[in-house]
Structure 1
Amino acid sequence: MSWSTCYRFRFSSSAVVCLALFYIVVFNGLSLYGLIKSTYTPVSLPVNRDRLYFAYMKYDRALWKCKKPHLSQTPLPLTALASFPGSGNTWVRHILQQATGILTGSIYNDKVLKIMGFPGENIQNSSVLVVKTHDYGRNETQKYQRAILILRNPKDALLAEFNRLRGGHIGFARKEDFTKSRCF
């Protein structure tokens, strides 16, 4: 027997899971420690090294406000934000719109979304950052110059779509809805 076979051992699945959890805890602990000991503070504010230092946020709230969304002044490439229903398309639209300040469009005309913060609903031109779509096929794909494809675990996407159909965009299906023989 060679010396290499003496040191060779096989990890069980529980040992791998324990090692992964240990790595995550240590990595996050070191990251938090680094944040606590961080030397960054605005020059005009007193230094407080006892806890995470987020106090500077309250002094200039204008820095932390999202931009009011508007149509782009310069033409943008027509970009599809494509996904299966329930994959988080509306959520990604919201993040993109708030981060850039440019409206996101949609091939749909959902009046609830229009009222709830998507004034670009039903706009499908180069003045919006992306255009939400759940459609596919040659005719649909030829409309766009670019595409962002959102993928999600099918089980989670179907559950989210079922909740949307039964409870609205931000609601949930009732318990009774899951026991009916006809789901969709």
Structure 2
Amino acid sequence: MSWSTCYRFRFSSSAVVCLALFYIVVFNGLSLYGLIKSTYTPVSLPVNRDRLYFAYMKYDRALWKCKKPHLSQTPLPLTALASFPGSGNTWVRHILQQATGILTGSIYNDKVLKIMGFPGENIQNSSVLVVKTHDYGRNETQKYQRAILILRNPKDALLAEFNRLRGGHVGFAKKEDFTK
């Protein structure tokens, strides 16, 4: 077979798919290996460190411990975290607080959320990273210097809001609630 014959050879679609899957698996495996090596300390070190090693591992809790969120010492732009109820506003607030260490506020005063790790409930000033709101309209938008808008499929948002109303912030509605 000459070089020109090889050059004219075209991959079949199944070969391309197999090759793509191979690269995805290898890339993800190497990424997983890098993650494991960067945060975990194996209980017993393998002899050959070049090979992927899975074993029972311990980890340093200090690497995963988040600082207790606090109010910002420097004034921040007043930022609305706006969404339709059930779109994940509270979840985004949690992620932002844990990632930055700065409290997030809210126009609401939800005592349950305050107990569950959102001490910034009912704080609406520049000492918090964002302010949770479900309100809309010209008067509401003029209160803020900027905004983050959370969008979610309306069907999913309505279902999540129904679950929150019937089961609380981390609960679910009962089966009977759906048949009423």
- Aligned match of 2:31: 31
Cα 1:17–1:143 shift into 2, 3 Å: farther
Moved more, 108-117 or 29-38: 29-38
1:57/1:64 contact within 8 Å kept: no
Cα 1:47–1:6 shift into 2, 3 Å: closer
2:167/2:173 contact within 8 Å kept: yes
Where do 5+ consecutive residues of structure 1 fail to align? none
2:71/2:128 contact within 8 Å kept: yes
Moved more, 11-20 or 58-67: 11-20
CA RMSD, 1 decimal: 5.4
Any idea what the Cα deviations from partners look like across 1:134-165, whole Å, max 9, x if unmatched? 01100000000010111111111110000001
Any idea what the Cα deviations from partners look like across 1:2-52, whole Å, max 9, x if unmatched? 999999999999999999988865654564466679999899988874886
Show structure 1 runs of 4+ deviating over 2 A.
1-64
Cα 1:165–1:50 shift into 2, 3 Å: farther
Where do 5+ consecutive residues of structure 2 fail to align? none
Q: Distance in 2 between matches of 1:44 and 1:23?
A: 30
- Aligned match of 2:168: 168
Percent identity, aligned pairs only, is 99
1:80/1:131 contact within 8 Å kept: yes
2:103/2:119 contact within 8 Å kept: yes
TM-score, length basis structure 2: 0.74
- Aligned residue pairs: how many? 180
3-state secondary structure, aligned to 2:120: coil
3-state secondary structure, aligned to 1:58: strand
Cα 1:17–1:60 shift into 2, 3 Å: closer
Q: Distance in 2 between matches of 1:158 and 1:137?
A: 21
Moved more, 63-72 or 45-54: 45-54
TM-score, length basis structure 1: 0.73
